[in-house]
Structure 1
């Protein structure tokens, strides 16, 4: 009546089931399982409170350094999990893609400003007048392009994200237009002319 099951469960079907449940130790993990005492010692060392202020500061520094490394990598790859709070969320991602998919006059502001500066230094009245006209023209074109971009982006955001809080997204996108494409962070994830990601 109280016999152990191990003695009576030696049928071929039970043995086949047992073979299937046994996992190859090298299969998915690729490394041996640590011994219990090693795993517990590692857990204790991580959860043990710091002995003094110096140790606490060292741990905080290491944690901050690890977070910053993850953030830098996320800014380069676009990984949303580790992006700074100002870049997170589907609305911000859509705004980034919307800006990166188009050409904007504001992204050429720095090279044009250098050209205007060079023209203003030249000891020639005509060059100085030309630099002034260029300066006014560039500012006017940037303002016009920004107004048009802001209106179109707001419309696209309202269509794509009805009922969501869109506060600050347009200004975030316009600030991105002022940066040259290769210097933008997070890095552009869409090519010019490509539709924004879902």
Structure 2
């Protein structure tokens, strides 16, 4: 008797309409979630490519582009694209120091070729042949002495510039071998003139 009659009855929930199918679309509802192992297997790529010839062509093209970038960097001195053995501030400092110095090693090959040719010319003259051989040995000894002095100077200056123990192994030999190359054939190309020693 205390209850009131509701004048407006509650509306009954309408039944949801069935989604209309659009032709050409894929319905995603009602499909189970794939297992993790199934999803991982779908993402895996085969170790051996299906088209080996195409993969080999792609690999060769990438290697060619890498070689072209490195060669151009060795011509221009671009530090970012240099090969790993020539990269870094220490290697750059060594190259600049060696290129600024007049090394006896860069004249060794031309002088040695002249001496060898002279031995053929003086084959009938024993005295002249002995003199040529002695001069060749003298050139070898002087060149080795100059390379030893260069290695000592490089070690002292590199330690003063970069600190004790910061110079990687093989850096001194890197500079000595560069000193034995003819200046115009060195790669990377010299970026300094004679006498322009790095600080």
State how 1:146-165 maps to structure 2 within 5 Å: 146-163=147-164, 164-165=166-167
Counterpart CA distance in 1 for 2:138 and 2:90 is 32
Residue 79 of structure 2 is aligned to residue 73 of structure 1: no
The answer on whether the counterparts of 1:119 and 1:127 sit within 8 Å (CA) in structure 2 is no
Residue 175 of structure 2 is aligned to residue 145 of structure 1: no
Partner of 1:170: 172
**Offset at residue 51 of structure 1 (A):** 5.9
**Offset at residue 127 of structure 1 (A):** 2.5
Partner of 1:88: 87
1:119-158 CA-to-partner distances (Å, cap 9, x unmatched) read 1112222321122111111111011101111111111100
Greater CA deviation, 123-132 or 152-161? Answer: 123-132
Which structure 2 segments of 5+ residues have no match? 1-48
Counterpart CA distance in 1 for 2:128 and 2:74 is 41
Greater CA deviation, 123-132 or 173-182? Answer: 123-132
Match of 2:182 among 175, 180, 183: 180
The answer on whether the counterparts of 2:105 and 2:143 sit within 8 Å (CA) in structure 1 is yes
SS at match of 1:97: helix
Partner of 2:15: none
Between the two proteins, the alignment pairs up a number of residues equal to: 148
The answer on whether the counterparts of 1:76 and 1:187 sit within 8 Å (CA) in structure 2 is yes
Which structure 1 segments of 5+ residues have no match? 1-49
State how 1:1-198 maps to structure 2 within 5 Å: 52-122=51-121, 123=123, 124-163=125-164, 164-196=166-198
TM-score calculated relative to the size of structure 1: 0.72
CA RMSD of aligned residues (A): 1.3
1:23-44 CA-to-partner distances (Å, cap 9, x unmatched) read xxxxxxxxxxxxxxxxxxxxxx
Larger Cα Rg: Structure 1 or Structure 2? Answer: 2
* Aligned structure 1 segments of 4 or more residues deviating by more than 4 angstroms: none
TM-score calculated relative to the size of structure 2: 0.71
Greater CA deviation, 89-98 or 122-131? Answer: 122-131
